[in-house]
Amino acid sequence: MTIFSRGFRSRRRADERLPPGQYLTQGFPVLSAGPTPHVPLERWEFTIDSETEQVHRWTWPELMALPHETPTVDIHCVTTWSKLGTHWQGVSLDVLFEQVETAAQYALVYSYGGYTTNLPLDDLLDGKAWIAYRHDGQDLAPRHGGPARLLVPHLYFWKSAKWVRGIRLLKQDHPGFWESAGYHQYGDPWREQRYAED
């Protein structure tokens, strides 16, 4: 017979959810490559530009009218902090790509303020990524990427572009801002893909 002590919980331990080289934080550090853009909602839009020059566009009211999800995910920054069990609300990229026909394999995500980051298109689909506009039940603050940011929790957080404005679909990979400066092209935290040589 197995005996459990009082207070035992059969729950996955936090350290099993922590990639190598990371430490836990209770806060939400703010790191940005430049000044914080403040985008009025009446001027905000999100576009997907296909490799055949088709443009799919959503205004803020149109984004808000789409079905949303409330993922709870762990996030990991390349600067070695991790935050477990973060709560978000947003629209799955699967919903936005329903009407997009493409043979592209890569995406270049671009933001208000000029930031860019590159990802394989497969890493944005099949329930892996969202356009997030709420965090912990509150509208996403500008310092954290509001009014909306990309959320790709299985990769280092620099891939979750703040102030997201659109996605350009490409047949060949094209490095974004940090990738051009020597960061890894993919950024898997479990393989510690921080820099190009990792």
Task: Map 53-114 to HEC letters.
Answer: CCEEEEEHHHHHCCCCECCEEEEECCCCEEEEEEEEEEEEHHHHHHHCCCCCCEEEEEECCC
Mean pLDDT of 97-111: 96
What value, to the nearest 5°, has the Cα angle with vertex 125 and ends 45 and 34?
A: 45
Question: 31 vs 57, which has greater pLDDT?
Answer: 57
Q: Torsion-angle region of residue 187: left (phi > 0), alpha (psi -120 to 50) or beta? A: left
Token duo for residue 110? 């671009």
pLDDT of residue 28: 82
pLDDT at 31 exceeding the cut of 80 = no
Tell me which CATH homologous superfamily contains domain 43-191.
Oxidoreductase, molybdopterin-binding domain (3.90.420.10)
CA distance 105 to 122: 7
pLDDT of residue 36: 86
Identity (one letter) of the amino acid at 89? Q
Sorting pLDDT into bands at 50, 70 and 90, what band is 14?
low
pLDDT of residue 197: 87
pLDDT of residue 42: 97
Cβ neighbourhood burial of 166 (10 Å; 0-12, 13-18, 19+): buried
CA distance 51 to 106: 10
pLDDT at 119 exceeding the cut of 50 = yes
CA distance 7 to 131: 38
pLDDT of residue 95: 98
**Extents of the domains making up the chain:** 43-191
Contacts of 21 (CB under 8 A, 6+ apart): 80, 192
Token duo for residue 170? 């490409």
DSSP of 117-145, one letter per residue?
EEEEGGGGSSSS-EEEEEETTEEPPGGGT
